Structure 1
Amino acid sequence: MPDPAQVRLEAALPAALARLRATPGVYAALWCGSAARGDGNAYSDLDFHVLVEGDLRWRSNFTVDGVPVEVFHNPVRKVRAMFAAGQGDTITMYAEGKVVWPHPELEALVAEAQALYAAGPVPRPMTEQRRFRLLDEVADARALAESGDPLHALVACRAAEQAVDALYAARGWWEVKAQRWLTDLDQREPGAAQELRAVLTEPPSARQAALEALARRVTGDLAYRDGGSEPQRVE
């Protein structure tokens, strides 16, 4: 049986598209996000990337039939610039989205995004500065776990977020929203998914152990090392 939330989102699609068609300068639209993938929920919105004439880019938001809508308006050359800059969120949305207002330029962008998505981003190993910040957060969490402070849950989750972000960068994976981390990691690196689940669900001692295991996936160990930024001129 179809999910009622997804049905509601899809029912609002024609009215949202009519609003886009009435926007001056807009000539193509791509439906993106969770609703376009078919896994929208009661709190999802409708997301669109649209192509516009001229030199301006902007965002807009509105509601249709009680459904929130967010729209990213860009000229073609700006979209290609975002692709060239490796903006994973834009590449992913174009690669996974559905064309709902066709145009040859939009179809070409979708094909480019799909090729980029299939190739994956260039892996970015963790810098020493980023490694230090993660280790610092893990150590703060350890102190809270040992003292029984309930804030351990918050700090551990904050550190886990850093670790997961670093894992995606180091492995050369396109980033996904946090809501999709567990399902995505289940496919890519099940051990990391298991550790993240433990951080989210286990009591403090087990949570801290899982956090440290997750951090070691990108840091190698939990030892501090010498490092620092390059000197910068003070203006």
Structure 2
Amino acid sequence: MPADPAAQARLEAALPAALARIAATPGVYAALWCGSAARGEADEHSDLDVHALVEGDHRWRGSFVVDGVPVEVFHNPVRKVRAMFAAPDHATVAMFAQGRAALPHPDLTALVEEARAIHAAGPTPRPPTPAERHMWVDEVVEARSLMGDDLHALIALNAAGRLMGALYAARGWWEVKPRAWLRDLERHAAPEAALLRRVLTASTSTERQAALEALALAVLPGGLAYAESATDPQRVP
């Protein structure tokens, strides 16, 4: 069921005019309707997301408004979409795996099939590197140093948000937007969902910090001690 039937209907009503404008864009020859509205899950904050296939060597992102509905369009040649699949770019894989062809073309059909196969297989788990581990520990320790301070909530919540990206990467889960973290975590790992909820709702910095450190341990099972690390050398221009 849609999160908001009225919002879903409003976005669907604006879709034909949005597609007409996209189809008239030079170079566009196919389009995929994607995002929450394409999945039938729109709410009052949703917009229309469209991924357009274009001829040539350029990619760009555009936005406009139709009947009060914001529209965001991602323009890419096929080879760029496949490069994003290979990365993998989680958002692009999800767009094509869950989207609906709005301006059909064989290239679009092939990309959708590829994305569905990639999405079904799931991303390869990627544990934190030593340098990333140091960064996560540093953020938790920074929050610890501010316990009792009004800034603790801000620093702890920021650290928790960054840890969520690390958790999804380490477990091999497809990333989702922050607004879906709790719902998605309940499906993947209820204990981690409970920890995140405690970080968000704690009434004291002591409780918030304890939940943050427990969440960090879900990403860094070896503990929160500092260890030796180094990033790859980069040439200075």
- TM-aligned CA distance change 1:233 to 1:100, over 3 Å: closer
Q: How many residues are paired up?
A: 233
Query: 1:31: which partner in 2?
Result: 33
Residue 165 of structure 1 aligns with an amino acid whose one-letter code is G
Q: What is the CA distance between 1:130 and its match in structure 2?
A: 0.9
- TM-aligned CA distance change 1:231 to 1:54, over 3 Å: closer
Query: 1:210: which partner in 2?
Result: 211
Q: What is the CA distance between 1:153 and its match in structure 2?
A: 0.9
Residue 56 of structure 1 aligns with an amino acid whose one-letter code is H
TM-score, normalised by the number of residues in structure 2: 0.93
Paired with 2:232 and 2:31, the residues of 1 have a C-alpha distance of: 44
Q: What is the CA distance between 1:234 and its match in structure 2?
A: 4.2
Q: What is the CA distance between 1:230 and its match in structure 2?
A: 3.9
Q: What is the CA distance between 1:208 and its match in structure 2?
A: 1.0
> What SS class does the counterpart of residue 50 from structure 2 fall into?
strand
Q: What is the CA distance between 1:89 and its match in structure 2?
A: 1.2
> What SS class does the counterpart of residue 149 from structure 1 fall into?
coil
Q: What is the CA distance between 1:124 and its match in structure 2?
A: 0.8
Paired with 1:234 and 1:113, the residues of 2 have a C-alpha distance of: 38
Paired with 2:89 and 2:83, the residues of 1 have a C-alpha distance of: 9
TM-score, normalised by the number of residues in structure 1: 0.94
Query: 1:225: which partner in 2?
Result: 227
Query: 1:61: which partner in 2?
Result: 63
For residues 78-93 of structure 1, what are the structure 2 equivalents within 5 Å? 78-93=80-95
Could you list the runs of 5+ residues in structure 2 that have no partner in the other structure? none
Paired-residue identity, %: 62
Query: 1:167: which partner in 2?
Result: 167
Residue 14 of structure 2 aligns with an amino acid whose one-letter code is A
Q: What is the CA distance between 1:233 and its match in structure 2?
A: 4.8
Paired with 2:17 and 2:199, the residues of 1 have a C-alpha distance of: 42
For residues 55-204 of structure 1, what are the structure 2 equivalents within 5 Å? 55-145=57-147, 148-203=148-203, 204=205
- TM-aligned CA distance change 1:103 to 1:208, over 3 Å: same
CA RMSD of aligned residues (A): 1.5
